[in-house]
């Protein structure tokens, strides 16, 4: 297939070997106690990390020197404890692949570097971001007791950058942002002043859970169209999987199954979702809200937001959502899980949290492209994933930076395959097409600065488009532009003033 790597082959290999790999790591993560700093030992060689994976693995190798040590250092993480899915540490092994992969990742880091990982949790989700940021600021004033890393809700990383307490991760050559465990859009779309001040990717299990994708009911597709589900995968591969094809297949599917003459959860629909997921259509069209300026030293409002392309997207989607009668965007997950819709668009975690025991077979696809001429697919991230920030108050930044890189690499090597196989592919582990789709979705994730800076933008970066789709306001998009452009640019000016003090 085009655009798709062969990494999934390795994923299946790792899934088969995972029990043996997990059994090899017996070192428990250290207790949450502080140890005095030790003298860092410089690397004496350039050998890559030795792992438990077979030598012919198709996974990209790490370039971390095998003999790099930071004996006695304690690396301290302040993390959001109200995170939706386990990510940072677990107390013990319990036989579940993802749980045990997290446990063994941390044990591997402690054993290889000679460090202790210390995790301190605090509330920090969407409603608790302000308190989390304030605690991070207070941490930087704590001297020797300061945390090395702040690991918070996605928006918190960019906020901490603006507060001036995030280090530039590109200062540390050991962090290799060209490796596949870091999304490429970090360097292409989220670099400010030639620096990267927050990061995410395979290091965050919630990053993988929060990728947007399209799920379809294979049985219903065959019933409605008398065709094999493989047609949909072929559309993706050929580049035909775009809005026109998606709307075409979703239209005419509605059936008033409960005979109450009202569109309701008991009916059959072509497409169901929730209005908070409308953002994915904007990103999948390769549209951005905020981008770095030409000199890279500031940010600016992207021309995409109020462009003719966005206007056309809104017009097409509003007509589809509000006039065809085939769409429902209130109770999406339950309707789809109960077999009441052909398509849904949601976060990847729907496959494990809602679809683990469905009575039908389902498959996954990327969110459709804007049109067939668009060369690539682009994957939007839902907000509840983690961004990792290296604190300016870290007293052993070299050890911390190396820990971040090894943590990301070990997550890529072991946690990602375990998560895909155990949590997300329970229903389709033997379906190679779906495996390829997951690989494609992961590889095309987009990091949009506007979404991560949304706290400082009064939510304008997502709310304007989302509201227009939800309220059928495509016809008034020019009025939306006139009413909000000045405010948007004023907020950006405030952000740029804050950015003057970084780097």
Residue-by-residue pLDDT tens, the chain, 503 positions? 444 343 443 443 333 333 333 333 333 333 333 333 333 333 333 333 334 443 345 689 999 999 999 999 999 999 999 999 999 999 999 999 899 999 999 999 999 999 999 999 999 999 999 999 999 999 999 887 899 999 999 999 999 999 999 999 999 999 999 999 999 998 888 899 999 999 999 999 999 999 999 999 999 999 999 999 999 999 999 999 999 999 999 999 999 998 888 888 899 999 999 999 999 999 999 999 999 999 999 999 999 999 999 999 999 999 999 999 999 998 678 999 999 999 999 999 998 889 988 999 999 999 999 999 999 999 999 999 999 999 999 999 999 999 999 999 999 999 988 888 776 654 334 456 887 898 899 999 999 999 999 999 999 999 999 999 999 999 999 999 999 999 999 999 999 999 998 87
Q: Are residues 117 and 245 in the same domain?
A: no
Q: Which two tokens stand for residue 111?
A: 């054993």
Distance CA(296)–CA(192), nearest Å, equals: 6
Does residue 319 fall inside a structural domain? yes
Count of CA atoms in the C-beta half-sphere (13 A) of 437: 29
List C-alpha distances in Å: 89 to 101, 105, 148, 387: 10, 9, 16, 16
Does residue 2 fall inside a structural domain? no
- Provide CB contacts within 8 A for 126, sequence distance 6+: 153, 155, 383, 384
Does residue 202 fall inside a structural domain? yes
- The answer to whether the beta carbons of residues 213 and 346 sit under 8 Å apart is yes
Does residue 444 fall inside a structural domain? no
Helix (H) or strand (E) holding 162: helix 154-162
Give the N- to C-terminal CA distance of the chain in Å, as an integer.
42
In degrees and rounded to multiples of 5, residue 194 shows phi and psi of 60, 20
The neighbour count for residue 86, using CB atoms within 10 Å, is 15
Q: Are residues 365 and 415 in the same domain?
A: no
Q: Are residues 14 and 138 in the same domain?
A: yes
Q: Which two tokens stand for residue 152?
A: 């918070």
Residue 353's closest CA among 210, 201, 200, 204? 210
Range of the structural domain that residue 319 is part of: 212-380+455-499
Q: Are residues 148 and 190 in the same domain?
A: yes
Position 243 scores a pLDDT of: 98
Q: Residue 412, SS3? A: helix
Q: Are residues 401 and 314 in the same domain?
A: no
Does residue 41 fall inside a structural domain? no
Distance CA(324)–CA(249), nearest Å, equals: 12
339: left (phi over 0), alpha (psi -120 to 50) or beta: left
Q: Which two tokens stand for residue 115?
A: 């460090």
Q: Are residues 113 and 20 in the same domain?
A: yes
The neighbour count for residue 58, using CB atoms within 10 Å, is 15
Q: Are residues 177 and 107 in the same domain?
A: yes
Q: Are residues 72 and 126 in the same domain?
A: yes
CATH code of the domain in which 475 resides: 3.40.190.10
Distance CA(146)–CA(143), nearest Å, equals: 6
- The answer to whether the beta carbons of residues 267 and 254 sit under 8 Å apart is yes
Q: How far is CA 481 from the centre of its chain?
A: 29
- The answer to whether the beta carbons of residues 249 and 243 sit under 8 Å apart is no
Q: Are residues 362 and 468 in the same domain?
A: yes
Does residue 441 fall inside a structural domain? no
Q: Are residues 96 and 16 in the same domain?
A: yes
The residue written with tokens 């596949």 in the block is: 180
Distance CA(91)–CA(363), nearest Å, equals: 34
Distance CA(71)–CA(211), nearest Å, equals: 37
Q: How far is CA 502 from the centre of its chain?
A: 26
Distance CA(178)–CA(61), nearest Å, equals: 12
Helix (H) or strand (E) holding 212: strand 212-217
22: left (phi over 0), alpha (psi -120 to 50) or beta: alpha
- The answer to whether the beta carbons of residues 398 and 175 sit under 8 Å apart is no
- The answer to whether the beta carbons of residues 290 and 448 sit under 8 Å apart is yes
Position 58 scores a pLDDT of: 67
In degrees and rounded to multiples of 5, residue 187 shows phi and psi of -85, -30
Q: Residue 195, SS3? A: strand
Does residue 109 fall inside a structural domain? yes
Does residue 433 fall inside a structural domain? no
Q: Are residues 196 and 253 in the same domain?
A: no
Residue 419: DSSP 8-state: I
The tally of domains found in the chain comes to 2
Position 187 scores a pLDDT of: 86
Position 98 scores a pLDDT of: 92
Position 434 scores a pLDDT of: 83
Angle at 285 between CA 280 and CA 290, to 5 degrees: 80
Position 439 scores a pLDDT of: 84
- The answer to whether the beta carbons of residues 443 and 377 sit under 8 Å apart is no
Q: Are residues 320 and 460 in the same domain?
A: yes
Pairing of strands 341-347, 212-217: antiparallel
Distance CA(453)–CA(161), nearest Å, equals: 10
Q: How far is CA 194 from the centre of its chain?
A: 23
């Amino acid at each position: 297939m085009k655009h798709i790597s062969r990494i999934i082959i390795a994923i299946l290999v790792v899934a088969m070997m995972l029990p043996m790999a997990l059994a090899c790591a017996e070192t428990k993560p250290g207790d949450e106690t502080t140890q005095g700093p030790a003298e860092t030992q410089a690397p004496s060689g350039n050998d890559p990390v030795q792992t438990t994976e077979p030598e012919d693995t198709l996974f990209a190798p790490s370039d971390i020197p095998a003999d790099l040590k930071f004996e006695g250092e304690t690396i301290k993480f302040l993390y959001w404890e109200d995170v939706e899915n386990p990510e940072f540490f677990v107390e013990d092994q319990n036989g579940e692949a993802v749980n045990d992969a997290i446990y063994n990742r941390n044990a591997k880091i402690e054993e290889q570097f000679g460090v202790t990982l210390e995790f301190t949790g605090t509330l920090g989700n969407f409603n608790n971001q302000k308190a989390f940021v304030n605690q991070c600021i207070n941490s930087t004033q704590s001297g020797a007791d300061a945390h090395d890393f702040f690991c918070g809700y996605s928006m918190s990383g960019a906020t901490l950058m603006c507060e001036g307490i995030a280090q530039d991760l590109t200062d540390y050559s050991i962090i290799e942002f060209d490796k596949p465990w870091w999304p490429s859009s970090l360097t292409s779309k989220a670099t400010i002043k030639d620096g990267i001040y927050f990061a995410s990717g395979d290091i965050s299990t919630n990053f993988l859970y929060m990728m947007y994708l399209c799920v379809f009911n294979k049985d219903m597709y065959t019933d409605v169209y008398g065709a094999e589900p493989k047609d949909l995968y072929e559309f993706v591969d050929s580049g035909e999987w775009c809005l026109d094809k998606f709307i075409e297949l979703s239209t005419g599917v509605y059936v008033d199954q409960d005979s109450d003459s009202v569109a309701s959860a008991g009916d059959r629909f072509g497409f169901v979702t929730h209005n908070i997921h409308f953002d994915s259509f904007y990103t999948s069209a390769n549209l951005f809200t905020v981008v770095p300026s030409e000199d890279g030293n500031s940010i600016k409002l992207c021309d995409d937001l109020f462009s003719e392309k966005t206007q056309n997207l809104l017009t097409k989607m509003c007509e589809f959502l509000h006039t065809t009668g085939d769409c429902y965007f209130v109770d999406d997950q339950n309707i789809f899980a109960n077999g009441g819709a052909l398509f849904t668009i949601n976060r990847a975690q729907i496959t494990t949290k809602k679809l683990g025991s469905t009575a039908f077979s389902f498959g996954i696809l990327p969110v459709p492209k804007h049109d067939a001429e668009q060369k690539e697919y682009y994957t939007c991230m839902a907000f509840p994933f983690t961004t990792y920030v290296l604190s300016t108050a870290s007293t052993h930044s070299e050890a911390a930076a190396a820990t971040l890189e090894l943590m990301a690499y070990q997550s890529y090597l072991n946690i990602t395959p375990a998560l895909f196989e155990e949590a997300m592919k329970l229903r389709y582990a033997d379906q190679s097409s779906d495996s390829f789709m997951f690989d494609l979705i992961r590889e095309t994730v987009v990091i949009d600065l506007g979404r991560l800076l949304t706290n400082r933008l009064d939510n304008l970066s997502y709310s304007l488009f989302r509201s227009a789709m939800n309220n059928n306001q495509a016809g008034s998009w020019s009025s939306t532009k006139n009413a909000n452009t000045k405010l948007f640019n004023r907020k950006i000016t405030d952000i740029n003033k804050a950015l003057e003090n970084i780097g």
